[in-house]
């Protein structure tokens, strides 16, 4: 019997995270599911009997990121896929913001991808390959009013992904991004209702994505069906952005 593949998923307890854990388990992965808050995650894993383990960690700490990667490697023996879903923003006018807010955005939206992928890449290199998928945002491709710094950081993650995709292709590590548009999760519920209503009008499908529709694209990129795809960014946004 072949050994099951292992996926390490961060932001696993969030609106997109929970259905992604469920989907990856259904696709045959054993899942290490990481989040700052694991209450709902643990409940889902137990209630549904999923082949997954929840780990609580704060991804703004490089030390904690490195420690949890080492723990997952020790517990599961390997890491075949890494999915980063951690992200956060509020919505405000850039000129009215303070630098403390920007520092928090950098710490949550950019640095965890750097810390985690730096810790995980050597494991994948030793194993002979792997898949990384960073959940970014259409904001990082086309900008969004009310989310200027978040958009800049998501664009930074996209450029980072393309750069490491080039560096790591020789190790058979694929690095890709999904770029969700508005998706029906608690993160979107925190947004300014006026801005959300305005955005709905420009989405050809006239509705937000369901979190499961984000999970299915993520599952594709970490599957063998994506073996020849790297450095790409796929918008899952009901046609909001077309390229």
Ligand X SMILES: NC(=O)c1ccc[n+]([C@@H]2O[C@H](COP(=O)([O-])OP(=O)(O)OC[C@H]3O[C@@H](n4cnc5c(N)ncnc54)[C@H](O)[C@@H]3O)[C@@H](O)[C@H]2O)c1
Q: What is the CA radius of gyration of the chain?
A: 17
Q: Work out whether 87 is an interface residue with ligand X (CB under 6 A).
A: yes
Q: How far apart are the C-alpha atoms of 228 and 61, rounded to whole Å?
A: 33
240: number of Cβ within 10 Å = 20
Q: Work out whether 238 is an interface residue with ligand X (CB under 6 A).
A: no
Write out the binding residues for ligand X, residues 57-86 only, by CB under 6 A: 57-60, 85-86
Of 1 and 92, nearer to ligand X (C-beta) is: 92
Q: How far is the CB of 34 from ligand X (least distance, A)?
A: 7
One-letter-per-residue 3-state SS of 157-171:
HHHHHHHHHHHHHHH
Count residues binding ligand X (CB under 6 A): 27
**Could you say which of 16, 50, 165, 217 contacts ligand X (CB under 6 A)?**
16
- Do the Cβ atoms of 7 and 20 come closer than 8 Å? no
Q: Work out whether 39 is an interface residue with ligand X (CB under 6 A).
A: no
- Do the Cβ atoms of 83 and 20 come closer than 8 Å? yes
Phi, psi of 202 (to 5 degrees): -100, 5
**Could you say which of 72, 115, 117, 137 contacts ligand X (CB under 6 A)?**
137
Q: Work out whether 147 is an interface residue with ligand X (CB under 6 A).
A: no
- Only one residue has tokens 């928090």, namely 104
Of 29 and 134, nearer to ligand X (C-beta) is: 134
Q: Work out whether 88 is an interface residue with ligand X (CB under 6 A).
A: yes
Q: Work out whether 180 is an interface residue with ligand X (CB under 6 A).
A: yes
Token couple for 53: 């383990």
Interacting residues of 160 by C-beta distance below 8 A, sequence separation 6+: 110, 113, 114, 134
Token couple for 105: 């955005």
- Do the Cβ atoms of 119 and 34 come closer than 8 Å? no
Piece of 14-22, 23-31, 192-200, 215-223 that binds ligand X (CB under 6 A): 14-22
Sign, CA torsion 150/152/158/162: negative
Q: Work out whether 234 is an interface residue with ligand X (CB under 6 A).
A: no
Of 30 and 199, nearer to ligand X (C-beta) is: 199
Q: Work out whether 186 is an interface residue with ligand X (CB under 6 A).
A: yes
Q: Work out whether 6 is an interface residue with ligand X (CB under 6 A).
A: no
Q: Work out whether 17 is an interface residue with ligand X (CB under 6 A).
A: yes
Q: Work out whether 142 is an interface residue with ligand X (CB under 6 A).
A: no
Q: How far is the CB of 19 from ligand X (least distance, A)?
A: 9
Nearest CA-CA partner of 149 in 89, 190, 85: 89
Q: Binding residues for ligand X, per CB under 6 A?
A: 11, 13-17, 35-37, 57-60, 85-88, 108, 135, 137, 180, 182-183, 185-188
């Amino acid at each position: 019997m072949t050994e099951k593949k292992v996926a390490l998923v961060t932001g696993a307890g969030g609106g997109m995270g929970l259905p992604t854990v469920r989907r990856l388990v259904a696709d045959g992965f054993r899942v290490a599911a990481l989040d700052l808050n694991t209450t709902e995650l643990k409940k889902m894993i137990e209630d549904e009997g999923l082949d997954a383990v929840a780990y609580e960690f704060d991804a703004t700490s490089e030390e904690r990121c490195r420690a949890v990667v080492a723990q997952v490697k020790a517990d599961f023996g390997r890491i075949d896929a890494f999915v980063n879903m951690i992200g956060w923003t509020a919505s405000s006018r850039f000129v009215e913001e303070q630098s403390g807010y920007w520092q928090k955005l950098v710490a949550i939206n950019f640095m965890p991808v750097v810390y985690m992928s730096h810790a995980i890449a050597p494991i994948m290199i030793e194993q002979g390959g792997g898949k990384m998928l960073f959940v970014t945002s259409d904001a990082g491709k086309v900008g969004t009013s009310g989310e200027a710094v978040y958009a800049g950081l998501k664009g930074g993650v996209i450029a980072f992904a393309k750069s490491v995709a080039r560096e790591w292709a020789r190790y058979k590590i694929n690095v890709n991004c999904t770029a969700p548009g508005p998706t029906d999760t608690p993160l979107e519920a925190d947004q300014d209702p006026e801005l959300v209503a305005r955005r709905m009008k420009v989405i050809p499908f006239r509705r937000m994505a369901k979190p499961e529709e984000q999970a299915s694209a993520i599952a594709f990129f970490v599957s063998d069906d994506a073996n020849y795809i790297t450095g790409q960014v796929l918008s899952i946004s009901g046609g909001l952005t077309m390229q």
